[in-house]
Amino acid sequence: MVQERNAVVKDPRGKIRVALVYPNLYRAGMANLGFQTIYDLLNSREDVACERFFLDFDRSLETGSPLKDFHIIAFSWQFELDALNILKLLDRSGLPLRRGKREQLVVAGGPCTVNPYPMRGFIDVFFIGEAEANIHEFIDAYAAGEGAPAFEDIPGIYVSEEDNPVRRVFLEDLDSYHPVHQIMSPAAAYGRSFLLEVSRGCGRGCRFCLGGFITRPPRERSLGFLEEVVDRGVRACEPDKFSLIGASVSDYSGIEELCGFLSEKGREISMPSLRADTLSEVVVDTIVGSGQRSLTLAPEANQRLRDMVGKGITDEEIESSARLAFARGVRTLKLYYILGLPGETDDDVLETAGFVKRLKKSVRGKIRLSINPFVPKAHTPLQWAGLVDQKTYKRRLRLLKKEAGVELESEDYKSAFLQATIARGDQDLGAILEKVCGYGGGMGAFRRAFKEAGVELGRYAAGRGLDEPLPWAKVDTWVKEGFLRREFEKYFRGEASPVCKEACKKCGVC
C-alpha cells in the first residue's frame, strides 16, 4: 500500500458508493487534477462514499473493497488507449462488459468522452465537459432513484441507451472552486506536489489541439483566489512542490505576480510546456530558483507548418527564449515536435533539423527532442485529416534524428495509430474493441479483430471528406462545425486566425 496524506475513508453503510477509477497506473492518476477534483467533490457529500481504483490495484485503496461492491463505477477517460483498460478492469472484476447486463451504473468522464461512440456499448452514462458543473445534480438524481434515461435531462449528460443530443458543460467561474485537500503521495508522477490550476481553456486555436477546442472559452482564476488556495493548500497538504496547470501557463495574466508569491513559499515550482513568446525572466528565475533545472517549449514544427497549424510563434522567439533559459540557469531544454502533419514534406523535416542544430550551437546546455506523430482528433479543425503512413513517419523520424544531432525520444507509431482509431471511431468499433480486449490487446489483437469484423484496419485513421457524416455529430462542444471547416481550409492556405477573445462569436462558444 502506498503512503498517502488526505485520503478520505468513510463508513460506506447507508451511502451511495462510488468507485472512482483511473484506468491506468496509480502514479499517473494521482498526478491528474481532474481525478483529484472529482474525488474531492464526491467526498464532500455526506451521502456519498467515494473510493479510488487504478490499473495496478485490484481493490480500492480506501477500504480494500472489490469493484463490484459499488453502486456507481466512474471512469476517468483521459487517453484514447485507456478504453481498453476500462474493459480490462471491468472484466478483471468479474463484471459484464456490456451495459444492460450489470447492476452497477457505469459512467465515464474526461476529454475522450467528446466521442462516446466507440464505448457506447459498455458505458451507461458519459459526462461531456467539466463535471464540476453537473456532478452534484447527477448524484441528486441518482439518490432520488431515477434511472439512466432520466439523466439525459441533466445538461452535459449523454445516456448511451437514449443516444441523446448533448451539449458540453463547463464551469463559468473558476474562482467558485478549486480542490484544496489534495492527496499527497511520493508515488505520484510529480511526487508530493500541490496541483494548482491557473487557467482553463486556450484561445490560441492550434488546429491540431483537442484541448484547445473542447475547453473553450479561455478562463482564468484571479490572483487573489489562487493565493488563498495556495495558503490553504500548504496547511492542508504540506506539499514539497507546486505544479502549475493550464493550457498555456505563461499566458496567465498574473503569472509574474504569482511566481513572486509562490517563490516565498520555499518549495520547488514546476510548469508544463511554456510558450516561447510569453516566457519572461521572472518565470525562468522562479523555476530555476526553486530548484528546477529543466524547461519545456513546444515549437511543434518548422515555421511553415507552425504557421499552418496556427501556433503563432517564430523561430526567433524560440531561439530567444532558449538563450534566456540557459542564461538564467536552465541546464536542459526539451522541445516538443509533431511529425506527420498534413502537407508535411521532407524539406520541412530538414528545416526543423537545421534549426535545432543551429540552436544547439548558439546555447550552452543540453537540448532534447520529444517527437510525437500527428493524431487527428474529433472536434478539431484537423478532424478530417488522416494519419501519416508508418513508412513515411519512420523515414522522416530517422532523417530528423540524423540531421538534428541531438538526443531524441519518440512515441511509438503503433500507439498513435490506435489513438487515431479510437479518437475517431464509431459505434461499430465497440465490438472490435471487445474482441481486442479478449485477444489480449496490442497491435496483433487489433489486426485479428478488424479482420474478423471484415473492416479495413486503417478505416478510422484515414482522412475523411468534408461531406462525410461524423459519428460524433450529436455531441455539441459549442464550437460550430462550420467554424472547424473554415479553419481546416485555412490550414492548407497557411492563413492565421486571431487569438480567441471574449465575446467574438466566431467559433460559437461565446
CATH number of the domain within which 58 lies: 3.40.50.280
**260 in a domain, yes or no?**
yes
pLDDT in tens, 303-317: 999 999 999 999 999
| pLDDT, position 129 | 98
What percent of the chain is predicted at pLDDT more than 90? Answer: 94
How many structural domains compose the chain? 3
Does residue 85 sit in the same domain as residue 22? yes
Residue 325 to residues 254, 319, 330, Cα–Cα distance (Å): 20, 10, 5
Does residue 391 sit in the same domain as residue 449? no
Q: Which three cell numbers stand for residue 369?
A: 527532442
Does residue 126 sit in the same domain as residue 199? no
Does residue 293 sit in the same domain as residue 417? yes
Does residue 260 sit in the same domain as residue 278? yes
**184 in a domain, yes or no?**
no
**108 in a domain, yes or no?**
yes
| pLDDT, position 172 | 95
Closest CA to 122 of 102, 99, 106: 99
* C-alpha count within 13 angstroms, C-beta hemisphere, residue 425: 29
Does residue 208 sit in the same domain as residue 152? no
What is the rounded average pLDDT for all residues in the chain? 96
Q: What is the average pLDDT across 58-67?
A: 97
pLDDT in tens, 422-447: 999 999 999 999 999 999 998 999 99
Closest CA to 369 of 397, 390, 391, 393: 397
Closest CA to 176 of 131, 135, 221, 218: 221
- Look at residue 13 and tell me whether its pLDDT is greater than 90: yes
Does residue 288 sit in the same domain as residue 343? yes
**224 in a domain, yes or no?**
yes
What percent of the chain is predicted at pLDDT more than 70? Answer: 99
Does residue 158 sit in the same domain as residue 211? no
**499 in a domain, yes or no?**
no
pLDDT in tens, 465-492: 999 999 999 999 999 999 999 999 999 9
**387 in a domain, yes or no?**
yes
Domain that holds residue 216: 192-425+460-493
Predicted TM-score (pTM) of this structure? 0.96
- Look at residue 68 and tell me whether its pLDDT is greater than 90: yes
| pLDDT, position 2 | 80
Separation between Cα atoms, residue 281 and residue 276, nearest integer Å: 12
Does residue 355 sit in the same domain as residue 474? yes
Out of 167, 202, 237, a domain closes at 167
**179 in a domain, yes or no?**
no
